[in-house]
Amino acid sequence: MEESVDAAELQAFLTREFPQVAEDFIVEAVGEECVIRLRVADRHLRPGGTVSGPTMFALADVGIYLAILHRLGPVALAVTTNCSMDFMRKPEAGRDLIAHVRLLKLGRVLAVGDVLIYSEGGTAPVARASMTYSIPPREKPDPAKSDPAKPEAARA
């Protein structure tokens, strides 16, 4: 059975597992659509005040990852195997970015998510992304098998 992890648990998971980037991201809402905020800071900017491409990639990647954990629980060690992004508009200077994430598939071995990224308050998306994650085999409730989850996931 799948469990559901709420926004506060996801935020705590980020802080615990990804301390170097956790403060950048705020889990605003979870559900059919998950909403993740990127608190834009100077280190995310490029000349001209635009948010860098790697920063938008990171937002999409974290957003879909959290949407998967929302469904599978915080033990999953999914790894990104594929990404496609369209950068469509220049983000507005001095505004946070808001990612709206949907899971399109949560299969046994692959999950696919879809993201639209907006400047806060904007109505036209600045970027679109879809990403595939490889889901490691999930342990069955077999009491004879007590190996802890491995701390490192090799890419599929």
> Which positions touch its own copies (CB under 8 A)?
17-18, 20, 43, 46-50, 52-55, 57-58, 61, 79-90, 104-105, 107-110, 112, 114, 116, 124-126, 128, 130, 132, 134, 142, 144, 151-156
DSSP 2-46: -----HHHHHHHHHHH-TTTGGGEEEEE-SSEEEEEE---GGGB-
Nearer to its own copies, 75 or 153 (CB): 153
Q: How far is the CB of 145 from its own copies (least distance, A)?
A: 9
Nearer to its own copies, 107 or 121 (CB): 107
Nearer to its own copies, 11 or 52 (CB): 52
CA distances from 59 to 37, 114, 129 (A): 8, 12, 10
